[in-house]
């Protein structure tokens, strides 16, 4: 049992130690557990609670069994700490209020530094595509998806052209 904990801890060493920049993050539920609509709403709320405090949310979508998150780190935390906090808060709530037995999330997750406006637009487009796929046949207004207004630097760059 001890060896598996060491392996999990070792996996975290591959994540960036950066505290600034735009980061693309994806994490999955354990055993592809499907979150209910209420649980996904809770996940959205928890993600947005960190906006302006630990990071700036650019866009995200909470799918039934995974989350795509595009954030700008503000210098106070690494992506690893942010993901750990988000997953932990959601897990604690689901265990306490919904009786979901941990683990709720897979221990591993994916992180990529977003470099440049083109890559940023691709990632936002991917989130929107996932949200539209999620809602096929529904008339909902994408309740589990959020896209922040354009970055100030992008707006400034467009006006300078």
- Is residue 125's pLDDT more than 70? yes
The fold of the 2-160 domain, in CATH, is Alpha-Beta Plaits (3.30.70)
Residue 73 confidence (pLDDT) above 80: yes
Higher pLDDT among residues 2 and 69, named by residue: 69
Q: Give the mean pLDDT of 142-147.
A: 78
Break the chain into its structural domains and give their ranges. 2-160
Is the bond preceding 150 in cis, omega lying within 30 degrees of 0? no
pTM: 0.80
Q: Tell me, what's the pLDDT at 128?
A: 87
> What pLDDT, on a 0 to 100 scale, did the predictor assign at position 71?
96
Q: Cβ distance 104 to 94 under 8 Å?
A: yes
What's the pLDDT score for residue 72? 95
Among residues 60, 54, 59, 51, the alpha carbon closest in space to that of 148 is found at 59
The position carrying tokens 């600034």 is 20
Asked if the model's pLDDT at residue 94 lies above 60, the reply is yes
Average pLDDT on 53-65 reads: 93
Secondary structure (DSSP) of the chain: -HHHHHHHHHHHTTS----EEEEEEEEEEGGGPPPPHHHHHHHHHHHHHTBTTTEEEEEEEE-SSEEEEEEEEESS--HHHHHHHHHHHHHHHHHHHS-PPSP-EEEEEEEEE--HHHHHHHHHHHHHHHHHHHTTT-----TTEEEPPPPHHHHHHHHH-
| Residue 132: per-residue pLDDT | 77
Residue 65 has pLDDT above 70, yes or no: yes
Which comes out higher in pLDDT, residue 143 or 53?
53
């Amino acid at each position: 049992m001890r060896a598996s904990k060491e392996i999990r801890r070792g996996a975290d060493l591959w994540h960036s130690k950066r505290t600034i920049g735009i980061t693309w993050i994806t994490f999955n539920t354990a055993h592809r557990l499907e979150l209910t609509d209420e649980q996904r709403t809770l996940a959205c709320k928890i993600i947005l609670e960190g906006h302006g405090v630990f990071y700036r949310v650019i866009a995200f979508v909470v799918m039934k069994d995974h989350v795509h998150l595009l954030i700008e780190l503000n210098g106070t935390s690494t992506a690893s700490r942010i993901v750990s906090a988000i997953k932990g808060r959601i897990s604690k709530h689901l265990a306490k209020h919904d009786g979901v037995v941990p683990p709720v999330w897979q221990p591993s997750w994916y992180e990529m530094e977003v470099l440049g406006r083109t890559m940023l637009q691709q990632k936002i487009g991917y989130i929107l595509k996932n949200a539209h796929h999620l809602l096929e046949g529904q008339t909902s207004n994408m309740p589990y998806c959020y896209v922040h207004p354009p970055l100030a630097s992008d707006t400034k760059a467009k006006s300078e052209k």
